[in-house]
Amino acid sequence: MDHDKDKIDEDVLALLFLNAFREKKDWPWKTWKSHDWEVLDRLCEKGYISDPKSKAKSVVFTDEGLKMAKQLFEAKYVQRN
């Protein structure tokens, strides 16, 4: 079955924003990396997150990645009245 990998990447990036956190105010934004490894690798290649291949349970958003994740999350999942 063919599928649109870019759309899947967008959905996963938006869902990564749902779990965004930072441990201290000046530290980078992170998210839990509990998604498909192929998608996480593509998001890393696109420059949105750090390399997911580590023992850490989270990845770091790049500035562009956090901005894009927030935009996608709000466009896809925030209800507007």
User: In the chain, what is the straight-line distance between the N-terminal and C-terminal CA atoms, in Å?
Assistant: 37
Q: Where are the domains of the chain?
A: 5-77
Class of domain 5-77: mainly alpha
> From CA 46, how far away is CA 25, in angstroms rounded?
26
**What is residue 47's DSSP assignment?**
T
* Six token digits for residue 50: 């750090």
pLDDT at 42: 97
* Six token digits for residue 15: 């869902």
41-71 pLDDT per residue, tens: 999 999 999 999 999 999 999 999 999 999 9
Cα-based distances in Å from 51 to 25, 35, 77: 22, 13, 26
> Whole-structure pTM over 0.75, yes or no?
yes
